[in-house]
Structure 1
Amino acid sequence: METLNFRFDSGQRKLKPAPELVGVVSSGNLEVLIEAAPLNGACAIEIKTAARGFGAIWEAVMTDFQQRWQLADTRISINDMGATPAVVSLRLDQAVEAMLGDAK
């Protein structure tokens, strides 16, 4: 397993306090836990992945995600079993949309 950590400062969108879990960890998929956290306006992302050596791809996907959503005071935990970047983006978007509800 490889663990990757990313932090994006100066987000503008805060989420509701209740955590949200989407996806399942199984062959070729991942789960995403997203929760509000006091991070001085930052979004912190921790990824545990079975696929080693893809840090640059993860960084690109996480940067694109944060540019789309501009999250603040948010902690995201990802458990990955080899999901494609498209599936990662889908699961992240699902989690944020569930957290935003009608506030979007």
Structure 2
Amino acid sequence: METLEYRFENGTRALPAQPQVVGVVGSGNLEVLIESAPQGGACTIEIKTAAIGFGPTWQAVMQDFHQRWQLADARIAINDMGATPAVVSLRLDQAVETMLVSAP
């Protein structure tokens, strides 16, 4: 397993307090846990992946995600078993959208 960590500063969109989990860790898939947490206005992302050596690809996908959502004070944990970049993006968007829709 490889662990990758990213931090994106100066987010502008806060999330509701209720954490969300989307996806299932399994063959070719991943699980995303997203929660609101004090991060000094940043969004932190920790990825645990079985696909070793794909740091540049992960970084590109995370930068794209941050540009779309601009999350502030958010913590994201990803457990990956070899999902494609498209599936990663889909699950991340699903997690944020689920949080925003379920907010009171």
Task: Give the superposition deviation at 1:102.
Answer: 7.0
**TM-score (normalised: structure 1):** 0.97
Q: Deviations for 1:32-58, whole angstroms, at most 9, x for unmatched residues?
A: 000000001000000000000000000
1:90 matches 2:84: no
SS class of match (2:10): coil
Partners of 2:25 and 2:39 in 1: how far apart? 27
Where does the alignment leave 5 or more consecutive residues of structure 2 unmatched? none
Partners of 1:73 and 1:89 in 2: how far apart? 20
Partners of 1:93 and 1:87 in 2: how far apart? 10
Partners of 1:38 and 1:48 in 2: how far apart? 22
Q: How does 1:1-104 map to 2 (within 5 A)?
A: 1-101=1-101
Name the aligned partner's letter for residue 69 of structure 1: W
Task: Give the superposition deviation at 1:76.
Answer: 0.1
Task: Give the superposition deviation at 1:101.
Answer: 1.1
Q: Deviations for 1:38-92, whole angstroms, at most 9, x for unmatched residues?
A: 0010000000000000000000000000000000000000000000000000000
Q: CA RMSD in A?
A: 1.0
Partners of 2:102 and 2:47 in 1: how far apart? 28
The runs of at least 4 consecutive aligned structure 1 residues that moved more than 3 Å come to none
Where does the alignment leave 5 or more consecutive residues of structure 1 unmatched? none
SS class of match (2:61): helix
**TM-score (normalised: structure 2):** 0.97
